[in-house]
Amino acid sequence: MTRILTDHDLQMPALMPLAIEAVEDVLRQRARGAFVSPPRHAVSIDGAGDLVFTIGGGAGGQSPVAGFRAYTTFSVQQDDQLVAVWNVETGTLKAVVIGSLLGAIRTGAIGGAAIRYLSREDAQVVAVIGSGLQARTQLEAAVAVRPVREVRVFSRSAENRDRFAMEMQQRLGRPVQAVETARAAVEGADIVLCATVSPEPVIRAEWLKPGAHINTVGPKTAEAHELPVEVAAMARRIATDSPAQLQAYGRPFFLAGTPQLSRMEDLADIVAGALPAGATGQGRGLDDVTLFCSTGLAGTEVVVASALSDHLDQSR
Amino acid sequence: MTRILTDHDLQMPALMPLAIEAVEDVLRQRARGAFVSPPRHAVSIDGAGDLVFTIGGGAGGQSPVAGFRAYTTFSVQQDDQLVAVWNVETGTLKAVVIGSLLGAIRTGAIGGAAIRYLSREDAQVVAVIGSGLQARTQLEAAVAVRPVREVRVFSRSAENRDRFAMEMQQRLGRPVQAVETARAAVEGADIVLCATVSPEPVIRAEWLKPGAHINTVGPKTAEAHELPVEVAAMARRIATDSPAQLQAYGRPFFLAGTPQLSRMEDLADIVAGALPAGATGQGRGLDDVTLFCSTGLAGTEVVVASALSDHLDQSR
């Protein structure tokens, strides 16, 4: 029987470590060329909008699965996403996930893999810019992989940042403080999580502490980017989860035409050990700034959904 | 809330007339260029097989929906199909259908539309060649649109054809007889439904009665076809539900290179009234043989799923 999962089933914080492991498994498969993740496929329905597919899978991972995420641009109010997972060995439709939470969990999990392999191992202070669902799962992922003791959140709406602080403090069991400026969040932070929809930079490079690691989840095109290019220029290492998808974006990447573009590393190679990991100290000076540009590697939704479905099966 | 449907929910014979109406609505939309149904999209997962999508939708039908069917070639034993339907006006994921029955119902419904618009209105005797799921839904569709009094079924396995006869007689409430040769089924039949997987012709043109209508659902490539080309040569009219998909087949259509190819009509134009319908007598002499080549117009699954979901909502 196909397992049907909705946002309701995916609320538990305990799922994030499993999602991060699943993403790392995908990245290792991809590093050895064993994971298929073509550019997204979109079909335009005249007069309505687009139906968009990100498809991916691999026969050689811990869990041999393939499938897709489908979403639409029919309405700005509503975007019911669908993720489907087939077991490639049996042909069984293993799980169907409906809702928007899985997408945020897997983007969080990609961010968590980046933090594990790029940030300082002793990172304790986290700044969060943004207070939406993506900001929540990025923070949850940081907490899953680093000894986080203190969290500071800024977003433009005081109401939103206060609610974020209250809810996440309860969820994570550690202090989360809303602050009145982005600068107050970022200064002194070991990890900076940018998860906004801002077309203009929300932080400044000079606020960053030596040794800081930054994840950027929001806009990062030439015309709209939540990080200033100076942050990339300052970063000793810059990585992304899908160099291919960055190039396949309809609009140019915000680092196109800068010397930073050629320095970009593939997170898959880092996770697979082909490039030195930051976490071990081999590849990172303690004062190096590191930057991760999240693109949302196609197929990660599928493998994360598979792992969470397996876990929920076992825990019943 | 998204409605989840499985094969269990789609058992009722009462659904076929609704499915046929939904297909005819799609065909009318397509005739005026208001239904999107691109060629199928396949992604190969290395070492496993393909993930295949047929996508379609339209904003201008009775039910403004879009979505897709997804299926795989991972296993010969198991092919769990998934159909998803979005309301294009609200962005809501309206229904998800899991299983193989919906695909057979919509192929039946396409056959039913063809029978309604091409066969003699007084057709009473139906021959069925094949005894699988597709043969069942073709027959159900014929019964939905014509005053069928007698059904004769042939398939190679006596056990299968006997079971088909017993089960369909009970389901349809009219006589269904298993016969020992294809010829015994076809001779004298007003409607001949071929739904086999045979790579070689299963009937002969000379068995056909004047005025007979034939649906071919099984193989119809140059190298493997369940109908002999002579049937097409004899047919006064030949139609298909998707001329575009016939051309996009990986292998050439069985009528490629014959004079019949240029005579093919688009069922959409017939249903929309742009070409004369057979049923009214305007377009058909009573003794004309007519042929319908079923290709499975992409997007019909979506609109049929939408209609059946609406009906099941109302009947609870």
pLDDT digits (tens, 9 = 90+) for A151-168: 999 999 999 999 999 999
Contact A91 B79 (CB under 8 A): yes
Is A2 within 8 Å of B80 when comparing Cβ atoms? yes
Mean pLDDT over B69-74 rounds to 94
Please report, to the nearest 10 degrees, the dihedral formed by the alpha carbons of residues B39, B41, B44, B48 taken in order: -100
Burial class (CB in 10 A: 0-12, 13-18, 19+), B229: middle
Q: Mean pLDDT throughout A255-273? A: 93
- Read off the tokens for B298: 């992409």
Distance from CA of B36 to the nearest CA of A (A): 6
B94 to chain A, closest Cα gap in Å? 9
- For A134-148, A175-189, A265-279, B225-239, which range has the lowest pLDDT when averaged over its residues? A265-279
The pLDDT score that the predictor gives to residue B12 is: 86
The mean pLDDT of A170-185, rounded to a whole number, is: 97
Note the pLDDT of residue B47.
84
* Contact status, residue B164 vs residue B100, Cβ threshold 8 Å: no
How far is B301 from B287, CA to CA, in rounded Å?
Answer: 33
Bridge partners of residue B72, in order along the sequence: B51
A193-197, A279-283, B206-210 — which is least confidently predicted?
A279-283
Please judge whether B70 and A48 are an interchain contact, meaning their C-beta atoms are less than 8 angstroms apart.
no
ipTM exceeding 0.85? yes
Residues 6+ apart with CB under 8 A from B56: B26, B35, B36, B37, B38, B66, B67, B68, B297, B298, B299, B300, B302, B303
pLDDT of A118 reads 95
CB B142 within 8 A of CB B52: no
Rounded to the nearest integer, the mean pLDDT of chain A is 93
- A208: enclosing H helix or E strand: none
Closest Cα in chain A, distance from residue B8 (Å): 12
Q: Is the CB of B52 inside 8 Å of chain A's CB atoms?
A: no
* Domain at B3-102+299-314: CATH code: 3.30.1780.10
**A206: three-class secondary structure by DSSP:** helix
Q: Which of A301, A265, A260 is nearest to A52 (CA)?
A: A301
Q: In the predicted model, is pLDDT for residue A277 greater than 60? A: yes
Which residue ranges make up each domain of chain A? 3-102+299-314, 120-293
How close A63 gets to chain B, by Cα (Å)? 13
Nearest residue, CB atoms, B41 vs list A41, A80, A91: A41
Neighbours of A154 (CB within 10 A): 25
How far is it, in rounded angstroms, from Cα B92 to Cα B97?
15
Highest mean pLDDT among A77-91, B62-76, B122-136: B122-136
pLDDT classification of B73: cutoffs 50, 70, 90: very high
Q: Are B128 and B185 in contact (CB under 8 A)?
A: yes
- Token pair listed for A283: 């590849």
Pick the range with the lowest mean pLDDT from A70-74, B153-157, B186-190, B271-275: B271-275
B97, B99, B103, B104 alpha-carbon torsion, rounded to 10° = -130
Q: Between residues B197 and A62, which one has the greater pLDDT?
A: B197
**pLDDT given at position B116:** 96
Beta bridge partners of B82: B70, B98
Q: How many CA atoms lie within 13 A of B98 on its CB side?
A: 19
pLDDT surpasses 60 at B281: no
The reported pLDDT for the residue numbered A47 is: 84
- Over residues A187-208, the pLDDT tens digits come to 999 999 999 999 999 999 999 9
Size of interface A-B (CB pairs under 8 A): 144
Put simply, the answer to whether B93 touches A75 (Cβ < 8 Å) is no
User: Residue B292 pLDDT more than 70?
Assistant: yes
d(CA A182, CA A193): 11
Q: Does domain B108-293 have CATH number 3.30.43.10?
A: no
Contact A57 B64 (CB under 8 A): no
Q: A46 and B36: CB-CB below 8 Å?
A: yes
User: pLDDT class for B316, splitting at 50, 70, 90?
Assistant: low
Distance from CA of A32 to the nearest CA of B (A): 13
Q: What per-residue confidence (pLDDT) applies to B137?
A: 97
Look at residue B277 in the predicted model and tell me its pLDDT: 67
| Per-residue model confidence (pLDDT) at position A41 | 93
- For residue A249, the model assigns a pLDDT of 63
Residue B79: per-residue pLDDT: 77
Give the CATH fold of the A120-293 domain: Rossmann fold (3.40.50)
Q: How far is B292 from chain A (nearest CA, A)?
A: 28
- Set of chain B residues whose Cβ sits within 8 Å of the Cβ of A43: 36, 38, 41, 55
Phi and psi of B17, rounded to 5°? -60, -35
Q: What is the mean pLDDT of residues B44-67?
A: 91
**Which residue in chain B is spatially nearest to A78 when comparing CA positions?**
B91
pLDDT for the residue numbered B282: 56
Quick one: average pLDDT of B38-47?
90
pLDDT value of position B63: 84
Q: What is the DSSP string of B246-291?
A: HHHSSS-BTTTTSTTGGGEEEHHHHHTTSS--STTSSS--TT--EE
**Is the pLDDT at B302 greater than 60, yes or no?**
yes
Q: Which of A46, A72, A92 sits opposite B91 (nearest CB)?
A: A72
Beta strands in A145-240 (DSSP E): 150-154, 176-178, 191-194, 213-216, 237-240
**A contacts of B49 (beta carbons < 8 Å):** 88
- Give the best-scoring range by mean pLDDT among A264-278, B71-85, B299-313: B299-313
CB within 8 Å: B80 and A58:
no
Instruction: Tell me: pLDDT of B279 over 70.
Output: no
CA distance B295 to chain A (A): 21
Does residue B46 belong to the interface with chain A, where contact is any CB pair within 8 Å? Answer: yes
Please indicate if any CB of chain A lies within 8 Å of the CB of B55.
Answer: yes
A105 touches A6 (CB < 8 A): no
Tell if the CB–CB gap between A43 and B64 is shorter than 8 Å.
no
Which string of DSSP letters, residue by residue, matches chain B? -PEEEEGGGG--TTHHHHHHHHHHHHHHHHHTT--B-PPPEEEEETTTEEEEEEEEEESSSSS-EEEEEEEE-S-SS----EEEEEETTT--EEEEEESSHHHHHHHHHHHHHHHHHHS-TT--EEEEE--SHHHHHHHHHHHHHS---EEEEE-S-HHHHHHHHHHHHHHHTS-EEE-SSHHHHHTT-SEEEE----SS--S-GGGPPTT-EEEE-S-BBSS-BSS-HHHHHH-SEEEES-HHHHHHSSS-BTTTTSTTGGGEEEHHHHHTTSS--STTSSS--TT--EEEE----TTHHHHHHHHHHHHHHHT-
Q: What is the mean pLDDT of residues A20-37?
A: 94
Q: Which of B48, B86, B89 comes nearest A59 by C-beta?
A: B48
> Which among A45, A83, A100 is the top mutation candidate for probing chain B, defined by the most B β-carbons within 10 Å of its own β-carbon?
A45
Interface with chain B: mutation pick from A68, A77, A85, A86, highest number of B CBs within 10 Å: A86
Residue that is written with structure tokens 């305007």 in the block: B282
pLDDT tens-digit map of B134-191: 999 999 999 999 999 999 999 999 999 999 999 999 999 999 999 999 999 999 999 9
For A97, the enclosing helix (H) or strand (E) is: strand A93-98
pLDDT at A181 over 70: yes
**Which carries the bigger pLDDT value, residue B264 or residue A39?**
B264
